[in-house]
Each structure stands twice: as structure tokens, then as C-alpha cells.
Amino acid sequence: GLGFYTGEDGYMYCDNLRVDDIRQQVPESPFYLYSRERISANIAAYKAALAGLDHIIGYAVKANNNLKIMQHLCGLGSGAVLVSGNELQLAIKAGFDPSKTIFNGNGKLPAELELAVQHGVLINVDSEFDFANIAAAANKVGKTANVLLRINPDVDPQVHPYVSTGLASSKFGIRNSHLQWFLDAIKAEPRVELVGVHSHLGSTITKVNIFRDAANIMCDFIAKINAEGFQLKYLNIGGGLGIDYYHKGDILPTPTDLIDTVRDIVKASGLTLIIEPGRSMVATSSAFVNTVTGVKTNGSKHFIVVDGSMASLIRPSLYDAYQHIELTAPSSAEQKVFDIVGPVCESADFLGKERELNTPNAGDGLVVHDAGAYCMAMASTYNLKMRPAEYWVADGKLAKIRHQETLDDHIKLFDGL
Ligand code: LLP
């Protein structure tokens, strides 16, 4: 088996290892557990889908910035998509090739842009003021900035409004009516070279035909840009492919479905395709492993209280996101409908609601699936629940890939004050 699955013995496995055996070896709880080979398989699926097209895979580091995971993806040929100067520095440290690296964002800071120009990464232009800051950074550093225009195509990805980014009302990108301003400004700025167009529609997308709609709209922009004498290299369709969070056997679009939707458009454009997957690269590779603290009932409502919380995994609280939850061992105890909650002092602190599970005992293992994207990366130290340790199974063996944050780390922030 690859990744997380229930074995014939009824126990949960990560690759070849029982999660309960791993829990015995790991001193921390809760912790994040990854299957390295699942990550390898996820990028392999994108590579296979992209066969026959000039392309760059830019892994969206925001989804998971574990250095070991970044190094692993880099070693498998991935580029990186970044949204801050710190992500940029970490990507350089991980070894990513700057020519396969894209710096995105609607509020990039002057110092961050200077770093991006110095390293020669591709930069997406998001607005008039962003262009002015990019030009200033290029002139200050004395190097050319290679830029893509982030187009706002006004395409509805039909996802949660918080993760919808390509609507006319969204804060991201450039509308058609502003295009000429940018083309004139770029022509007048010798240190800025226009090399492509970009759009990103949103996240958790499960209907890939909208990528085709967006690509067609981008081609209208490309035609206008070409007519002004520019020579573009890149068509960047962003990230956003969803994954099967529900585990109900639904058939979801694969990387191949996504790429095939735009393949003929990309071919006809003659441009190199850039994609920016985050979630679909890493989400399925991890489970957040908890220990049950106890079970309680209030009126007709049953609760499983675990040691993990919204501090370490906030997607359910923040987006009402569903992540599948299972116990790590087989059980014949009574099935009930439970809310799975943490110890944080908020009613918003839940990992799952109304889940049918066998009644667990204190000390039992409980996992939240598909925790590889936007889980650890969005963890906080609220209630001084320190950020968890991370482990992966690689070559059939367990290895630690990040230390648990400690109270000392927190106390150090006050040294000498
Ligand atoms: N490119 C751009 C410009 C983006 O803004 C994003 C994600 C990506 C690529 C990667 O998208 P993905 O392939 O991962 O869907 N915290 C939310 C997700 C926020 C996504 C933000 N942008 C969540 O937990 O669901």
C-alpha cells in the first residue's frame, strides 16, 4: 500500500507501517505523519499529464513549507511558487532553480521584490502600484525583472468564497480595461521584461472545464499583447485542483484531466505552460495523528475530545472544511455520532462534526486525513499549543522531518526585553 489505508487486519497504515506502531515510537502527540512516496506519486502524476508539453511545475510552497518536503519535490524536478520573501529564501535554501520559480502576490513588499530580482525569479504583476514597486526594485538592484501579468479572468471556480480568487470582485489581478496601461508602462521601463500571463482561479476546484474558460480568456489577452510587439514565453494557469476530501468514492478530475482540458490551447499558443499546484501535490500525503483524551456526552450530543486542536489544524474551523476522520485501530465498541473536538477554549475548536465512529477509549489513536496541505502551514500556537512535530515514512522507515516547537522557543522571543 501507498499512503494511508486500512489494512486487512483493520488497522490504519502509512505505507508499510501501522500507524499504531508509529504512535508507540513517537514521543509527541499530536503529530503530522507523511508518506514520502505519496508525494512522489503525486508529482509523477503531474509529470505524466504534462508529457509532450513544454512546462514548469511550480509547487505552491504555501501549502506546506516543510524544508524536507520542499527538498524532496525540488529533487523530483519541481519549481516553486512563492508568496513572501521568507518563502523565497527557504526555496533557495531548499535548492529550487530560480528560473523555475515564480513570485506571486497582491502585496509584495519592496524588500521582497529586490530579493526576487536579485535571484532572477519570475514575478507576477498584480496591480499598478505593484508594477511601480517591481520597476523600482529592478532599477535598484540593476537587473532585469522578468514579469508575468496576473490576469483577473472573472471566472467562477464554484468553491468557498475564501478560496475563490479569479472573480472580478476579487482583490487579485488585472482586468481587461487596465491592460493597455501595463503594456505602455512596461514598454517605457527598460529593466522590466514582459514574459507571460498568469491567472489563478481559486482552490479546491473539482470542475476542470473552468481552466479552459480561463485559458481562452488569457489567449485574448495574449493576442492583444502580441499585437503590441511583445514576445511572450509563458502561459501560467495557476493551481487549484481539488482532492477527494470526502472519501466516498467520488471520481474527481486528475492532473491528466486538468492538463488535457487546456492541452490544445497551450499547443496552439506555442508557449511554455506553467502550473502552480499546492494542495494536489501534498494534501493526500499526510494524516494528523491524535490521541483520544476522553469521550463525553452533553444532552444528546456526543464528543470525542482529542489532544489536537484548531491551533494545529484550522481548516474545519475556518472554512467549515470536511476532512475525513478515522480511528487507527479496529473496534467493536458501540457506534455513535460524535463531534471531534480539541482542548482549545473556543466552540470553534473542532476537527470534525457529526461523524459516525466506534466509541474510542482514552489513549486510542484518531487521524484526520488529507492533512498535507494548508494544515501544518496554517498552524498557530494559540493557547500555547505548540506546533506539532512532523514525521514521514520514507524507504519503508519512519523519520522525523520537523521538531515540535517548544515552550522554550516561545520564551526565547522575550530574551533581553
Ligand atoms: N497559485 C496561487 C496564485 C495561489 O493563490 C494558490 C493558492 C496556489 C497557486 C495553490 O493552489 P492549490 O493548488 O493549493 O489549490 N488555505 C486554503 C487554501 C488557500 C489557497 C490560496 N492560494 C485551504 O486551506 O483550503
Query: Atom 23 in ligand 1: which residue has the minimum CA distance?
Result: 374
Across 31-84, where does the E strand assignment appear?
31-35, 55-60, 79-82
345 is known as an active-site residue: yes
pLDDT at 174: 85
| Ligand 1 atom nearest residue 240's Cα | 15
Provide the 10 A C-beta neighbour count for residue 377: 15
ipTM given for this complex: 0.99
The three cell numbers locating residue 96: 529550487
Ligand 1 pocket check for 238: Cβ under 6 Å: yes
As a dihedral over the C-alpha atoms of residue 39, residue 247, residue 250, residue 15, rounded to 10 degrees, the angle is: 30
The model's pLDDT over 364-383, given as tens digits with 9 standing for 90+, comes to: 999 999 999 999 999 999 99
Ligand 1 pocket check for 63: Cβ under 6 Å: yes
The percentage of residues in the chain with a pLDDT greater than 70, rounded to a whole number, is 100
Burial class (CB in 10 A: 0-12, 13-18, 19+), 415: exposed
Whether residue 360 is preceded by a cis peptide bond, meaning omega within 30 degrees of 0, is: no
Q: What is the mean pLDDT of the chain?
A: 96
**CA–CA separation, 133 and 117 (whole Å):** 11
pLDDT at 153: 83
Burial class (CB in 10 A: 0-12, 13-18, 19+), 273: buried
Residues 6+ apart with CB under 8 A from 83: 61, 62, 103, 104, 105
Ligand 1 centre to CA of 102 (Å) is 14
Give the mean pLDDT of 245-274.
97
The model's pLDDT over 385-400, given as tens digits with 9 standing for 90+, comes to: 999 999 999 999 999 9
DSSP letter for 252, please. -
pLDDT at 154: 81
The percentage of residues in the chain with a pLDDT greater than 90, rounded to a whole number, is 93
Q: Are 368 and 379 in contact (CB under 8 A)?
A: no
Ligand 1 centre to CA of 243 (Å) is 13
Ligand 1 pocket check for 278: Cβ under 6 Å: yes
The residue annotated as part of the active site, out of 14, 74, 219, 345, is 345
Give the mean pLDDT of 316-341.
98
pLDDT at 9: 98
CA neighbor of 181 nearest in space, from 223, 125, 137: 125
**CA–CA separation, 334 and 86 (whole Å):** 49
pLDDT at 97: 97
Give the mean pLDDT of 126-146.
97
Hey, what amino acid is at 181?
W
Ligand 1 pocket check for 105: Cβ under 6 Å: no
Ligand 1 pocket check for 203: Cβ under 6 Å: yes
| Ligand 1 atom nearest residue 315's Cα | 24
**CA–CA separation, 264 and 251 (whole Å):** 24
Whether residue 170 is predicted with pLDDT greater than 90 in this model: the reply is: no
Q: Is 39 helix (H, G, I), strand (E, B) or coil?
A: helix
Give the mean pLDDT of 204-210.
93
Whether residue 226 is predicted with pLDDT greater than 90 in this model: the reply is: yes
Whether residue 157 is predicted with pLDDT greater than 80 in this model: the reply is: no
Residues 6+ apart with CB under 8 A from 176: 220, 221
Ligand 1 pocket check for 60: Cβ under 6 Å: yes
Ligand 1 centre to CA of 332 (Å) is 40
**Ligand 1 pocket: which of 162, 200, 203 to mutate (most atoms <8 Å of CB)?**
203
Q: Are 86 and 303 in contact (CB under 8 A)?
A: no
Ligand 1 pocket check for 315: Cβ under 6 Å: yes
Whether residue 227 is predicted with pLDDT greater than 80 in this model: the reply is: yes
Q: Which residues is 101 bridged to in the sheet?
A: 80
Backbone CA torsion sign across 347, 352, 356, 361: negative
Ligand 1 pocket check for 182: Cβ under 6 Å: no
Whether residue 131 is predicted with pLDDT greater than 90 in this model: the reply is: yes
Ligand 1 centre to CA of 225 (Å) is 27
pLDDT at 162: 77
